[in-house]
Amino acid sequence: MGRSSIHELRDLLRLDDLTEIVDIGANPIEGEAPYRNLLAEGLCRVTGFEPQSEALAELNARKSAHETYLPYAVGDGSRKTMNLCYHSGWSSTLTPSKTSLDVFGSYRPNATVVGTAEIETRRLDDIGEIERIDVLKVDIQGGELDVFKYGRKKLSNTVMLQTEVPFVNLYDGQPSLGDIDVELRGQGFIPHLIAGLKKAIISPFLLNDDPWQTLNQLLDADFVYVRDFRDPTALGDDQLKHLSLAAHGFYGSYDLSYRGVLILEERGAIASGSGQRYIDLVNRVLQPVSP
C-alpha cells in the first residue's frame, strides 16, 4: 500500500514534530473527531479533557499510544456546580434554558437535570500538561468562551481551532456566537468553515409526527477558525506547516494548505517546486476512483 496523502504532505513540508492537538470536552458521544485521520496514522498527539467519569473511562479504554485523557474541567479557574443532565451531552456548568426548551420541546427530556456535582475548573493557561497547542477542539456546552479568555497565552501559537457556537442560547447566560467571534478575532483568528450545522423544529409543530425532523431554525454549529493567513509575516514556519497539514488532513481545505506551501517555498523553508508537487498530490486525491 502506498503512503497516504497526509504522509506525503508531511514529508513535503519537512515536518518532523507531531501535531499537538488539545480536545476539551472529548466526550465520545459527539461522533468522529476531525483529527481522526492524523491520529490513525500516528501523525499527531492528542491531549483530551473530560470531567464526566463514564465518558473519561470510555476514552481511556479505547485510546491509542498517542492519546492522553485527563479529568479536568477547563474554564475560568473557579469552583462551579456541574448540572448533570439525563443525556450526558447536555451536562454543563450552565443551567438549561427553560425559555429555549419551551420552544424546542424535543430536547427537554435529554436536558432534564438529574443531579449536580461540585467541580474545580482549571484555566487553560495554567495546565502544565500542555506545552504547545497546534490545534484546539472545544465543545463544553456553553463554557467555550472561558476556555479562550483564560487560554490566550497557550493559544498564541495555535493555528486552528474548532468550537461549538450557538445561534440560540440553550443555557441561561450562555455566551453568544458574537461574543465568541469577537474574542477569537481579537486573538488573531478568522472563521474558515462550518464543519457541522444543527437545526431544530419549533414546538409544537411536527413533520410526519417526528420530533427530530427539522425545518429552518438554526440552533448551533461547529465553526472552524484559523490563524489569519492573509498576512504571511504573522505566521512562523512551523505554524504554516501545522496549518497546512491540518487544513489538508482534517477538512480537505486544499487551497489553504496550498497557500501555506507556497509561502514556505518562497521562504526557502521547503524545497523548490513544492507548490507544484502539492498540486499533483491533490489531483491524485481528487481523481475519481474507477468502478
Structural domain includes residue 86: no
Report the amino acid identity of residue 193.
L
Structural domain includes residue 261: yes
What was the pLDDT predicted at 2?
Answer: 47
CATH code (residue 68) = 3.40.50.720
The boundaries of the domain holding residue 53 are 5-74+125-170+177-190+221-286
Sign of CA dihedral 24, 28, 31, 36: positive
What would the DSSP string read from start to end of 224-288? EEEE--SSGGGS-HHHHHHHHHHHHHHH--HHHHHHHHHHHHHHTSS-TTHHHHHHHHHHHHHSP
- For the chain (291 residues), the mean pLDDT of every run of 10, in chain order, is 80 96 85 90 95 88 94 94 91 94 95 94 96 96 95 97 96 96 98 96 94 95 97 95 97 97 98 97 83 56
Structural domain includes residue 258: yes
What was the pLDDT predicted at 265?
Answer: 98
Residue with cell 475519481: 288
What was the pLDDT predicted at 52?
Answer: 82
Question: Hey, what's the cell of 19?
Answer: 501535531
Please, how many CA atoms are within 13 Å of residue 165, restricted to the half-sphere of its CB?
Answer: 23
Q: What DSSP designation does 138 have?
A: E
Structural domain includes residue 115: no
The Cα-based distances of 233 to 64, 240, 274 in angstroms read 36, 10, 20
Report the run of H or E that residue 178 belongs to, with start and end: helix 177-186
Structural domain includes residue 52: yes
What was the pLDDT predicted at 222?
Answer: 95
Dihedral over alpha carbons 155, 158, 162, 165 (to 10 degrees):
40
Structural domain includes residue 26: yes
Nearest Cα residue to 161 out of 53, 20, 45, 283: 20
- The C-alpha atoms of residue 123 and residue 126 are separated, in whole angstroms, by 5
Q: What DSSP designation does 30 have?
A: G
pTM here is: 0.94
Total domains present in the chain = 1
Structural domain includes residue 105: no
Nearest Cα residue to 256 out of 287, 284, 235: 235
Question: Hey, what's the cell of 199?
Answer: 437545526
What was the pLDDT predicted at 156?
Answer: 97
For residues 277 and 12, the answer to whether their CB atoms sit within 8 Å is yes
Structural domain includes residue 94: no
Question: Hey, what's the cell of 187?
Answer: 486573538
What was the pLDDT predicted at 284?
Answer: 92
What was the pLDDT predicted at 289?
Answer: 59
Collect all residues with Cβ–Cβ distance below 8 Å to 148 and sequence separation of at least 6.
155, 163, 180, 183, 184, 187
What would the DSSP string read from start to end of 52-115? SHHHHHHHHHH--TTEEEE-PEESSSSEEEEEEESSGGG-BSSPBPHHHHHHSGGGTTTT-EEE
